[in-house]
Structure 1
Amino acid sequence: MRGKTTKMWQFASFALCLAGLFICGQALGRNTHEPEKKAAGNQHRTLEAGAVVTLEELLGAAVEGNPGLKAAMQSAHAARQMVTPARTLPDPTFTFQNMAGPDFPQLDAGDATSGRTYTLEQELPFPGKLDLKGKIASSEADVQELGHAQFLLQLKSNIKQAYYDLFFTYKSMETVRTDKELLLTFTQIAETRYQTGQGIQQDVVKAQVEISKLIDRLVNLDRQRHTIEADMNKLLYRSVETPIGKPAEFEKAELIYSLDELLEMARSSSPTIQTRRREIEGRQYGVELAQKEYYPDFALGASYVERRDQSDMYGIMIKAKLPVYFWRRQRPELEAARANLMSAQMMRNETVSDISSKIREAYVTATTADQLIKLYYSAIVPQSRMSLESAMAGYQAGKVDFLTLIDNLVTLLDYELKYYESLNEYQKALARLEPLVGMELTR
């Protein structure tokens, strides 16, 4: 009777092993792929409740709702509106004056000093000053508009980086959960074999420890997901508790430019570098304007004098401001303008150096991550999967111990996560490049 029961346990154990290995084979059939298929064709299991969200939807929401972007746009509009006033003459001055004797305000008959004077006066800056003031205002407007463009590029870059982080988190949770199901199956097999005397308790304990590790990793990933979603909601100017949704699959971007091409693109298209150039232009105009302050401004006026019982009189007036205190006013202003110009030139050089350094750093990160993506996708992950399948077959035949089987599963999980991590670093590096070079590199 006891032998019969033992055979029944052995048969049940063998059947459970076959079922478990079949499930494992089905799970291993999943492909770690580069996300080049659209979400419509995605057959992966949905991890979180809620609709799938695309990167384009988030970018549109950010552009529409971010108050900082709107403020930058209004500042640019305000600065542009100040160009025409800067080029315009000062408002003319109208003066009325009444001069009379004891019967004031009545005019005295026959009194040559009695009369009403009407004067119209117009200030005329020295030729060239208004044009320079208009150029300075135009340069300031260009700076504000470039600031708005830079804000938009940086906002999109931040949204994209957060989106790729969120995508990586979801993919990591999906991978960990799938491997957790595999590990649970392995645990059931180990428990059955232990109960039938074909396995050891250490195998069961090892499997349970690995399951606990995966649960811990899932908890941390879920916490990371909530943090990323809160950061994204800040960029979208929404409540931090607003659901984001599951990121849709996206096409892996291709970096088709060399480092030298990216550096040249930055020199010609980077809003930050263009801003520094406009600042230098404005400061140069400021130096020219300070030099013209050594020349006098003028004023022209016309007067009409109304007198009682006498002929009316007319007058013409010309005034000039004499810069006699040039050593206390014009000279320090010119020195300050030249110092501001030198400061702007140094800031431009520092900005070019800083952007070039950041471009090199992002480029190296992107190219390195791209190599790792190809390595994981074409070699390491498939080899790890084959190793696990071989370990499963060896375990079924009694040639491989349970710990080796677990180690192969953990190794496959680690490399699958590293694949998605490399993909995340690659996409984020391209997103960081966009505000530096002034153009879109990811979709």
Structure 2
Amino acid sequence: MTPITPIEAPLPKGVTDFLPEKADKIGYIEGKIRKVFELWGFRRIITPLLEFEDVIAAGLGDDLKAKTFRFDDRQSGKLIAVPSDITPQIARIVATRLRGYPLPHRICYSGRVLRHAELQSGRSREIFQSGVELIGLDSPEADAEMVTMAVEALKGLGFRDFKIDLGHVGFIRGIMTASGLEVAARNQLQEAIGKKDVSAVRSILAESPLSDAAKDELAALPRLFGGREVLDEAGRVATNDTSRRALDNISQVLDLLDIHGVSDHLTIDLGEVRGLDYHTGLTFEGFVTGMGEAVCSGGRYDTLTARYGFPAPATGFTFNVLALLSALEKRPDVEASKTRDILIFNQQDDRREALEIAQQLRRRGYTTARDIIRRNFDDSLDYARRMNILRMMVIGGDQCGPDEVYLVRVADGQGQRIKKAEVFSERFSLDAGPDKES
């Protein structure tokens, strides 16, 4: 027989296949996040994979517009886009499909978006997002809910050493506007502030025809980072009403976060420039030890739904699931998510009993597969090991009597005989049974 040569089937750069082990871990992480969202009363929406480009673009900032994949639609003759962010889709749905529903909307979602990335960056073009949007509440309490849910979800995933950085676009926007800095210089300055590059900030300001007071305010932005004491320092720096209102808003949110009991995980970064073209108020990002990028981000965006004809205050945030996976992949609980419970290895000619036992085990909540391919004991045990199955249950053969099954621990091959009647009893547990190994 002539051997078959495997075909080459490369993928475009920036996308990948997620095989069962990794897909199970992603599902585990998404499930943990979704549980927190549901406990806070959020309801799931599934958004479409495609949108008309002009519709989705109305809700995107310039940066995301530049990263959006577009192509011609043969049916409509219009330009179609693969969404680069789910939040604008939620805004469209709320403004159109949910327009007659009472506010507020508590919406959660989980899905993939696609973004252009620099080929040399090595970054994925696929982003797995799990997030929430709270639409219809202009309240510090709504902002506090978002931050608290982020903290609870990170704790639920097993993180302990993490921080949520709080910022406010109103604070930095107020200082920038009051300074009178020209647009080109303002963009340069924002980039330098975002990198906390104090020397670059000084260099830009030195070439700007601003008052000394304005330069002092702008120069202070990179160092306004730390605990709650930052608000006092910022209050001494900022003189415009917009920035002062922003500080009052942060203070109100922090008071509520004290009540929620999550203040130990908070830092304040008033020099954060992310989202200046998208958000309108409090913003935040979540960081875990060992990860250089944020695992979650969000904030208030009170003008987004208005772009679709339905003005409503809103806040929300999203988790980057693949970033969480990178941080969590080797944790025991995440590793365990890729395992299955039992492989049925039937050595009898009659398959009825094997099928009945498998059915009973599934009723008891155990994931159970049957090794339908005929092979010997060692080969079946090796298959179970490679498939991350924890135990193999042998029916028939020399390992057990006619009224018994032989339950093997796949990791080390150790086994024990269990009465079939016990398998069918209500008290059966994989962790119970005789301790004697044979």
What is the TM-score when the length of structure 1 is the normalising length?
0.18
Higher gyration radius (CA): 1
Which protein has the bigger strand share? 2
Give the TM-score of the pair, scaled to structure 2. Answer: 0.18
Between the two structures, name the one with larger relative contact order (CA 8 Å, sep ≥ 6): 1
